[in-house]
Amino acid sequence: MRVVITLLVLLFSMCGAQTQSTQTEVQTESQSTGAAAAVVTTQLDVSAELRELRDTNELYTVGAENNAQKTELAVMRERLVASETKVDALERGNAAQHTDLTTMKTEVENLKMETAAQETELTAVKTRLTATETDVVNLEKKITEQPKVAFSAGLTDSGFIESGNTDLNLVFTKVITNVGQAYSSTTCFFTAPVRGVYYFRFTVMDDIVSRYMHIKMLKNGEQIMELYEYDTDGRPSYLSSGVTLQLEVGDVVNMRLPAGHRLYDDNANNHNIFSGFLLFPL
């Protein structure tokens, strides 16, 4: 402010000096010369003051610019520090994410391997299930298609049956069960409808007093077994047995009463029974 005031004073002085010089131009030459010298001196001082003022203004301007640059530099430094901090945090976060990603990739690979193993196991289970289902279907078909053969028949309602002088093929006329119709109550023969293993059983009875009770089982006319018993008490006596036979289609089995023997049966008790059934086909 002092510089500005000084400059104004100088300017007013110059203006006054110039006015005074104009008014005294009519004066003497010596006075004009002195006044001119004073004006020149004053002008030189004003120029010096102006230069000083200009330099001072430039100094202030440069200082202001320098202060502004310092302020901006401080702000830029703060922003730089903040950016570096943010970058560092981002880098740490990125490193953590990279670690997490690596872990997730490992877990994914493990899951893929586990899934592949489960798919392999599932395929094996499906294969086994298919095979089992096929076996079940085949078994059901086999059971359904397997021939069912079973029979039981009582001997007679006529009381005593005697063979006379020759062996007598016993006709069990009282059919109780005859699944598959393999037993004939007319011919007395069981005829095998399929190749397989069969089980046969019989029971016979007689009132014997000092005599033998005698019975035979035959397969295709050949004797399979023979049983007899001697008793003297006159009370009912029983003979019973069973056998498993492998038969071909068309093989026949029957019971035979040897010559000179007898059996007893009635219409209520079925003391004499001939039975048989298919165990399984071959």
The reply to whether 155 and 250 lie within a common domain is yes
Residue 98 pLDDT > 50: yes
What pLDDT shows up at residue 55?
A: 78
Give the model's confidence band at 126: pLDDT under 50 very low, under 70 low, under 90 confident, else very high. very high
What pLDDT shows up at residue 65?
A: 84
The reply to whether 174 and 272 lie within a common domain is yes
* Domain membership flag for residue 37: yes
The reply to whether 260 and 167 lie within a common domain is yes
Domain boundary, last residue among 57, 79, 101: 79
What pLDDT shows up at residue 245?
A: 98
* Domain membership flag for residue 137: no
* Domain membership flag for residue 265: yes
What pLDDT shows up at residue 26?
A: 39
Who wins on pLDDT, 280 or 16?
280
| Residue range of the domain that includes 240 | 150-281
What pLDDT shows up at residue 39?
A: 58
Mean pLDDT, the chain, integer: 84
127-172 pLDDT tens trace: 999 999 989 888 877 777 789 999 999 998 888 889 989 999 999 9
207-250 pLDDT tens trace: 776 678 899 999 999 999 999 888 777 678 899 999 999 999 99
* Domain membership flag for residue 257: yes
Residue 179 pLDDT > 80: yes
The reply to whether 242 and 160 lie within a common domain is yes
Q: Record the tokens describing residue 120, joined without a space.
A: 């392999």
How many whole angstroms separate alpha carbon 186 and alpha carbon 171? Answer: 7
Domain boundary, last residue among 33, 61, 79: 79
How many whole angstroms separate alpha carbon 257 and alpha carbon 276? Answer: 18
* Domain membership flag for residue 87: no
Three state DSSP letters for 164-188? CCCCEECCCCEEEEEECCCECCCCC
* Domain membership flag for residue 23: yes
What pLDDT shows up at residue 29?
A: 52
The reply to whether 154 and 271 lie within a common domain is yes
The reply to whether 75 and 191 lie within a common domain is no
Residue 19 pLDDT > 60: no
The reply to whether 160 and 37 lie within a common domain is no
- How many domains does one find in the chain? 2
* Domain membership flag for residue 19: yes
In degrees, rounded to 5, the angle at the alpha carbon of residue 220 between the alpha carbons of residues 215 and 224 is 40
What pLDDT shows up at residue 93?
A: 86
The reply to whether 75 and 154 lie within a common domain is no
Question: What is the three-class DSSP state of 62?
Answer: helix
Residue 16 pLDDT > 50: yes
Beta strands in 71-134 (DSSP E): none
What pLDDT shows up at residue 197?
A: 98
Q: Record the tokens describing residue 119, joined without a space.
A: 């798919």
Give the model's confidence band at 184: pLDDT under 50 very low, under 70 low, under 90 confident, else very high. very high
35-66 pLDDT tens trace: 555 655 666 777 887 888 787 877 778 778 88
What pLDDT shows up at residue 211?
A: 78
Domain boundary, last residue among 56, 79, 102: 79
Short-list 176, 217, 213, CA closest to 198: 217
Who wins on pLDDT, 275 or 83?
275
* Domain membership flag for residue 22: yes
Residue 17 pLDDT > 60: no
